[in-house]
Structure 1
Amino acid sequence: MSTEPTQMRREILEIPDAVERLLAEGGSAVTAAAERARAFDPRFLLSVARGSSDHACTYLKYVSELILKRPMASVGPSVSSIYGVDLDAADALCIAVSQSGQSPDILAMTESLRKNGTFTVAITNDDKSRLAMASEITLPIHAGPELSVAATKTFVTSLVAGLWLIAETKGDQDLVAAIHALPDHLAAAARCDWSEAAAAIDGSSLFTLGRGPSWAISNEAALKFKETCLIHAESYSSAEVFHGPVSIIGQSFPVITFAAGDAAEDSVAQTSDALIEKGAEVFTLARGAKRATVLPHVRTGHCLTDPVAAIVSFYGMVEAVAVGRGINPDAPRHLNKVTETV
């Protein structure tokens, strides 16, 4: 067996440097986009994305609604690419997220929205991609090459780029300062030891839970279990798990609950402890939990940057679970790095 670290592990460890590079090189693009966004003054925001990029947009939805007080909704790319319908969204700002910038359906919806008066911003790792060319403004994420099929550093830099755009649009200097402090926090997050949770994952099925921005991180976590570990995982809001899904929980059923230092943390802690009563083995980032196992984690000084640190710690664990199961997380079966959906 090789003792060399996987490409996924190397890219997880590159995340703090990738975010540092984004902060050093991406400021002019973010400032220009924020100025345009303020002048445009959208009534609401839209997102166009799939997979991990769509999970990044779910996080940005909560950020928009909490910071800008503007609703944000994910639109179905197939509405344009398959059904041929142009949406009437002239008052909206659209954030299209794709690490490759190549997927035809994401491109088609972005082009359709721009044609009909929507202000379009692309977040991508390729500023020469078709998506970048189709959008009014592009925010390059400066992640550098990502060779492992599983997105890690491109997911995190997409989160940071979108968060930075919204913070600058609002003029929230506390949030901007927290964003600039992220590299050191992410380096610490990469060192968090989640081996206790990894040991509890038996390879059959599990839940990941969160609420608010942390629910977006839960969604990404569930995808990564399926993608890299071949383990069935489902993500739910901690407010919804008792509305049906709890029925499948049996003795020692693994659950990971994500939380930030925000108004939802207490409710996540309560849900985590309540699931212990149902027989689940629960690991949580909610500090108020009394029965669930609180995992080592990093708080960043701002509740909206806490979820960024959480996913970095999680990535380290899920890569270890995959390797422990004898699976190469760099090349999951049936998957390619770039998926081009019509």
Structure 2
Amino acid sequence: MCGIVSYKGKMNAREVIIDGLEKLEYRGYDSAGIAVANEGEISFEKRAGKLSNLEKALEENPIAGHVGIGHIRWATHGAATDINSHPHLSNNGRLAVVHNGIIENYRDLKNELEEEGYTFKSSTDTEVIAVLLEKYYENDLLEAVRKTRERLVGSFACGIISADEPDRLIGMRVESPLVFGLMEDGFIMASDIPSLLKYTRDVIYLENGDLVDIKGSSFTIYDKDDKKVSREVKKIEWSVDAASKDGYDHFMIKEINEQGPAIDELLRVNVKNGRVDFEEGSFSRQELSSIDRIYIVACGTAYHAGLVGKYAIERIAKIPVTCDLASEFRYNNPFIDEKTLVIFISQSGETADSLKALRLAEEKKAKTLLITNTLASSMDREADKSIYCYAGPEIAVASTKAYTTQLVNLYLLALDFSIKLSRIDEKAYEGILEELKKLPKKVDTLVKDDEAIKKFAKEIADKASLFYIGRGLDYATSIEAALKLKEVSYIHTEAFAAGELKHGTISLIEEGTPVIAIMTQDDLVDKTLSNVEEVVSRGARVFAITSKDDERIEKISDAWIRLPQTLDILYPILSVIPAQLMAYYTSTAKGIDVDKPRNLAKSVTVE
């Protein structure tokens, strides 16, 4: 949530920063601002609302310079207003800061500073950073930043400039992500890679506690102990086109269509010579033999992938698994010790709740493994092992290809564990791998089979509520399907375990209520079909997502889509595709900005 872009170089800072902020809009925001140090003063503009509001203000006041900081804000402290927007300036107007994250002790700091005579214009936690910088500033911006950092508690990635040192830019990273890019004629810092791609592919992933001090044409990085350090420069392999819409109307539909190739690439990397091979990313037979329980910990869509992963690991590798929400994990007194493996799933590798849970697991001496789409993220650096999704940049807030590649990695992990522990025979192992390899083409076929989905999406666009139902693995998919629809269409959508309808929730079904039933599991289709008959008898309109060529399903459903054939255990990878399309087409039918749904952010870097 929120996003920072800071620049120092020979180009117009305003143009670079605004361009970079546009690349971060997917993260979710409600205001934007920019500040530039030039000719002994700081010029700034900030506006509530979309970035276009800021751009219009800059047309009237075209501030210019070669050193600047920019920000898009998602309100956490104070309403989305011009005053609360970043950047925030010191009382004397000589220092400016943009900040991603939360300052947990800002109230105490604010009270202290007010008693000393400083004043505050905004309701934000961030303004205390600017005021502290003024308090500690004695003609050395770096020293002021160091002293300020010592006083702050929370998560903060910052860009900082001073009117008295107009040839200097400082970046500060504690908990919140910040990437430092090296350009031919300057430097750029941002919250995420897409802001940098136009200008450079040479980046340094700043580590927790790092300060980067840019003066003139050089820079110095200091670690959390204020020691000078060298950080590895990494080459970004994404193309600029990979982070653009490439002819699609929205990023979400582009990323839905990219799932087949993404799965194919993932399998190519992680399956070699007929064996799952994560190289350094998994555990040895000896290490696995000492594990007596597994936790899967994640948030949102990643947690839903974990629900499927629990089923796969228990069914294939015969290891008991508990799936828990990262935001609840630390408060549930989990039974973890050195014989526990905790698997974390995070698309960004920066999810605040998951990062805190990871640190708890480490304190308890558990083994930790991360499934992520982001190399060199905070969680990637801290986990014992990491497995990557190789899905490329996912820009739409609603996750699609990150989810399906997480699923594939969980299946591969289950196979890897099972073969190392001798809990699967060779034929079954090879059979699942072969079916996984066939999935990319089946996904490609499914994303094109969307006419029935488009039609039903138009029907439900004006509905107040909708329900998904399923049993077993289909219920796990239903939970993710319901989240996808509600987050981009704003329709109240719930997932019900189909067998639980008669225990209370069927009271919500009335004439015309839309129900989407997922039916893929051989041993559960008849029972789910009986549940569908229950809702139909009460007036529901049913859309069926099924793997079965069964005239009973066609007879009782108002519309349906039939999935390509695969193993029952693998159907969550296919059955979620129509649900993603349903969410997308319902959102577009309602005229919603599907890539940037209200109140949501792509990377949730605060608790």
Structure of higher CA gyration radius: 2
What CA deviation, in whole Å up to 9, does each residue of 1:193-251 have, x standing for no partner? 22343243133101011211221211111111111001100011111122111101110
1:25-64 aligned within 5 A: 25-27=269-271, 30=278, 32-36=280-284, 39-41=287-289, 42-64=291-313
What letter corresponds to residue 519 of structure 2 in structure 1?
A: A
Aligned with residue 493 of structure 2, among 226, 229, 233: 233
Residue 13 of structure 1, aligned match among 239, 242, 257: 257
Matched, 1:200 2:453: no
Range that drifts further, 127-136 or 256-265? 256-265
Distance, in Å, in 2 between the alignment partners of 1:80 and 1:225 is 26
How far 1:26 sits from its partner (Å)? 3.0
Contact preservation (8 Å) 2:348, 2:377 = yes
The AA in structure 2 aligned to 1:96 is F
The answer for the alignment partner of 2:314 in structure 1 is: 65
Higher relative contact order (CA 8 A, sep 6+): 1
Question: 1:49, CA displacement in angstroms?
Answer: 0.4
Which runs of structure 2 are paired with 1:149-228 in the superposition (5 Å)? 149-171=397-419, 172-193=429-450, 194-201=453-460, 202-228=462-488
Identity among equivalent pairs (%): 27
Residues 1:238 and 1:138: Cα distance change in structure 2 (over 3 Å): same
Give the structure 1 partner of residue 515 of structure 2: 255
Aligned equivalent of 2:365: 117
Deviations 1:72-127 (A, max 9, x none): 1123434566x596753432222100000102221121222133232211000112
Q: Go from structure 1 to structure 2 and tell me whether the alpha carbon gap of 1:52 and 1:266 turns closer, same or farther (over 3 Å shift).
A: same
Distance 1:195 1:84, change over 3 A: closer
Q: Does the residue aligned with 1:282 lie in a helix, a strand or coil?
A: strand
Q: Distance in 2 between matches of 1:37 and 1:212?
A: 30
Distance 2:364 2:306 in 1: 22
Alpha-carbon spacing, 1:108–1:87, altered in 2? closer, same or farther (3 Å): farther
How far has the Cα of 1:165 moved from its partner? 0.9
**Aligned position for 1:316:** 581
From the superposition, tell whether residues 294 and 66 of structure 1 become closer, same or farther in structure 2 (CA, over 3 Å): farther
Long gaps (5+) in structure 2: 1-246, 420-428
Is structure 2 residue 535 aligned with structure 1 residue 270?
Answer: no
Counterpart residue identity of residue 454, structure 2: S
Q: TM-score, normalised by structure 1?
A: 0.92
What is the CA–CA distance in structure 1 between the aligned matches of 2:537 and 2:559, rounded to whole Å?
Answer: 16
Please report the TM-score for the alignment, with normalisation by the length of structure 2: 0.53
Give yes or no for contact 1:93–1:120 (8 Å, CA) kept in 2: yes
Indicate conservation of the 8 Å contact 1:211/1:237, yes or no: yes
CA RMSD of aligned residues (A): 2.2
User: SS state of the match for residue 556, structure 2?
Assistant: coil
Whole-angstrom CA distance in 2 between matches of 1:107 and 1:37: 27
Task: Answer yes or no: is the 8 Å Cα contact 2:458–2:589 preserved in 1.
Answer: no
Whose helix proportion is higher, 1 or 2?
1
1:241 and 1:341 mapped to 2: Cα distance? 36
Paired with 2:456 and 2:506, the residues of 1 have a C-alpha distance of: 20
Work out the CA distance in 2 between the residues paired with 1:326 and 1:233.
18
User: 8 Å contact 1:31–1:168 — kept in the other structure?
Assistant: no
